[in-house]
Amino acid sequence: MSSGVNILDGKAIAEEVHAETQRRVEALEVHGIRPGLAVVLVGDNPASRIYVENKHRTASRLGFFSRKIELPADCPKEQLHEILNALNSDSAIHGILVQSPLPSHLDEEEVVAAISPEKDVDGFHPVNVAKLALGHSDGFVPCTPLGILRLLQHIRFPVPGSHAVVVGRSRIVGKPMALLLLQRGPLGNATVTVAHSQTRNLAAITRQADLLIAAIGQPNFLGSEHVREGAVVIDVGINRIADASAPRGYRLVGDVRFEEVAPICRAITPVPGGVGPMTIAMLLQNTVLAAERAVGLGRS
């Protein structure tokens, strides 16, 4: 936490992860290996373009070989699959990521399944999803939930035995987050409730949370009526709302009404600067892990 305030500075904690990753990149250099990441963007979703650029730039800064592949919104499925096949067999590439969401003519599940599980640094391939669900440690875990665990570790939040309420059930955040918190171990063993858009009496449930994870994708959805005093609140939402006074005509807000919730909770992540930077940090950590595994040095 920064200077006694209860705001979890994801940017600063991400830099700590980057420093560790950079050491691992340097250790691989001794073996003549440079971790390689390919980031694929299909179409021109403006938010996705920014995320992809951030991933590409940060990877280059840490000494990765980073390839950004931009394809038009009407890119035929066959062409995308050909590109993924080529990346799967390219020994300079250890991690492959296709930015979500995809244009509607492309089936996300089919695309993810076309990535080699050993290079699926997003942890979305069915093999990696199954490994997480089964508690096997040799797969890849999705970056946002992994980043959230790292934040909890940083503030020494006692996860075991706590009641974690995850609001949202996406394959990118909600589901893997719930699975991770359920795992045995010092960052698991939580009692996990998953709430979603069909949940009745949401506030009655979220108010029971020691740890509240908001991954709904609705701006300012949760307020002080949803939060118990002293809870830790992790806001995964990155929502653009129109703001004529902002330089770009919009500003970013989370799923949580920050001003209202910050005074009552033990710790809260801001938007931007909370979970977002952690996601990139864990993506690069997963990619260096993929490179280590490719040369038989992998920790699991």
- Residues of the shown chain interacting with ligand GUN in the complex, contacts defined by CB under 6 A: 97-100, 122, 143-144, 172, 279
Q: Which of 28/80 has CB closer to ligand GUN?
A: 80
Nearer to ligand GUN by Cβ, of 269 and 279: the residue is 279
How far is 123 from 286, CA to CA, in rounded Å? 9
- Residue 144 beta carbon to ligand GUN: minimum distance, rounded to whole angstroms: 6
44 counts as catalytic: no
Residue 114 sits at φ, ψ, to 5 deg, of -85, -10
Which of 9, 99, 175, 235 is the catalytic position? 99
If the CB atoms of residues 35 and 95 are measured against ligand GUN, the closer one turns out to be 95
Distance between CA atoms of residues 2 and 274, nearest Å: 12
What are the backbone dihedrals phi and psi of residue 10, each rounded to the nearest 5 degrees, phi first? Answer: -60, -30
DSSP secondary structure letters along 282-294: HHHHHHHHHHHHH
Q: 122 an active-site residue?
A: yes
CB of 283 to ligand GUN, least distance (A): 7
Q: Are strands 95-98 and 36-42 parallel, antiparallel or unpaired?
A: parallel
CA-CA distance, 149 to 188, in Å (whole number)?
A: 9
> Which is closer to ligand GUN, CB of 128 or CB of 279?
279
- Start-to-end CA distance of the chain, whole Å, equals 28
Catalytic site residue 99? yes
Amino acid at 9: D
Helix (H, G, I), strand (E, B) or coil at 133: helix
Give the active site residue among 9, 55, 175, 255.
Answer: 55
Single out the catalytic residue among 120, 122, 210, 255.
Answer: 122
Residue whose CB is nearest to ligand GUN in the complex, by number: 100
CB of 40 to ligand GUN, least distance (A): 9
Rounded to a whole number of angstroms, the minimum distance from the CB of residue 297 to ligand GUN is 25
Q: How far is the CB of 143 from ligand GUN (least distance, A)?
A: 5
**Closer of 143 and 202 to ligand GUN (Cβ):** 143
CB 68 within 8 A of CB 52: yes
Q: Indicate which residues carry an active-site annotation.
A: 55, 99, 122
